[in-house]
Amino acid sequence: MNIKITGSGSYIPTEKVTNLDFAKHTFLNEDGSPFPYSNEVVAQKFKEITGIEERRYAADNLLTSDIATIAAQRAVEDANINIETLDYIIFAHNFGNVKKNAIQTDTVPSLASRVKHNLKIKNPNCVAYDILFGCPGWVEGVIQAQAFIKAGMAKKCLVIGAETLSRVVDNHDRDAMIYSDGAGATVIEASEEQGGILAHNTATYAYDEANFLFFGNSFNKELDPDVRYIKMYGRKIYEFALVNVPKAMAVCLDKSGIGIDKIKKILIHQANEKMDEAIIQRFFKLYKKPTPANIMPMSIHKLGNSSVATVPTLYDLLVKGNIENHSLQKGDFVLFASVGAGMNINAFVYEV
């Protein structure tokens, strides 16, 4: 028995926000002091470091569970399955439903239950639950779905990654320019076809690293101190990722028994272009190999960092032929990898 992705879907929000749209923001340092240079300079430096030119925000009337439902419906249709045959709905997110301009998150009922309700699934044996695992949440959801199927507890699982980060950012923090909204979903099934998930690896580094990403106060000291926003120690995360992510990917690849030369594509969390490129280079360096050209499709330039949504969205765009100069063929080997809050790292090797 093999375990394969049989359908995928994504929702790319309609509102485009370019770097220049941040020109009217008042960016501040952590201590609340003003920035020494213009927003135009901030935007230029930001693009050079992250590769992000624009990002997408969800329309004001849409919640995380709403955009997840759209992606899920598309994945189910792509898999061509009866929705009542789903055994699990696993929904990875970080902040629940956050209404535009609200200061509270909403996770009751779970977002997975809301998606099940929206899809009008009647089967009570379709179990719906959420996972909080930082940006690697969708990858971990796939690993969990595989475990359920291997254990005989399921035959079909729907794994979703969705987030509306635009609603939890501090508009006085330059890091607000990184984050975006989006949703991606996949159907994972037991299959008689060759291929599927060959190996996986997961690790949590929490002794020193747990709070590299956290909820903190605005840099604007005049704002309500009881309202929190997503914050990060970017340099620490960068250094952590460069050391630990390539090693985790290598452990996963070695478990699979697949030689590095056979990897056709690497789908990595779209966090920061420079960081992702450095991770891939270090990964191949572990095997004393040069980094192959065209091995890493990227979506961050136009879509930003949508956390758990980046990898499933990237996969869906890739298999649907919507990423220029990149494609997948049956029999290709793909390495999925992610890193994020927790600090969590995971990966799996997949044969198309």
Q: Is the pLDDT of residue 26 over 90?
A: no
Q: Is the pLDDT of residue 210 over 90?
A: yes
Q: Looking at per-residue confidence, does 3 or 27 come out higher?
A: 3
Cα–Cα dist 95/117, whole Å: 20
Residues 263-288, mean pLDDT to the nearest whole number: 96
CATH class of domain segment(s) 2-192: alpha beta
pLDDT of residue 266: 98
pLDDT of residue 206: 97
pLDDT of residue 168: 95
pLDDT of residue 38: 84
pLDDT of residue 269: 96
* 211-231 tens-digit pLDDT: 999 999 999 998 988 899 999
Name the CATH topology of 197-351.
Peroxisomal Thiolase; Chain A, domain 1 (3.40.47)
Cα–Cα dist 65/48, whole Å: 33
- Outline which parts of the chain fall under CATH 3.40.47.10: 2-192, 197-351
pLDDT of residue 101: 84
Residues 279-283, mean pLDDT to the nearest whole number: 97
* 131-145 tens-digit pLDDT: 999 999 999 999 999
Cα–Cα dist 276/270, whole Å: 7
* 148-157 tens-digit pLDDT: 999 999 999 9
Mean pLDDT of the chain: 95
Residues 76-105, mean pLDDT to the nearest whole number: 95
**Per-residue DSSP letters for 58-111?**
--TT--HHHHHHHHHHHHHHHHT--GGG--EEEEE-SS-B--TT-S--B-SS-H
Of 30, 63, 52, residue with least CA distance to 214: 30
Residues 248-255, mean pLDDT to the nearest whole number: 98
pLDDT of residue 45: 84
Show Cβ contacts of residue 241 under 8 Å, excluding neighbours closer than 6 positions: 271, 275, 279, 339
Q: Is the pLDDT of residue 13 over 90?
A: yes
Q: Are 188 and 215 in contact (CB under 8 A)?
A: no
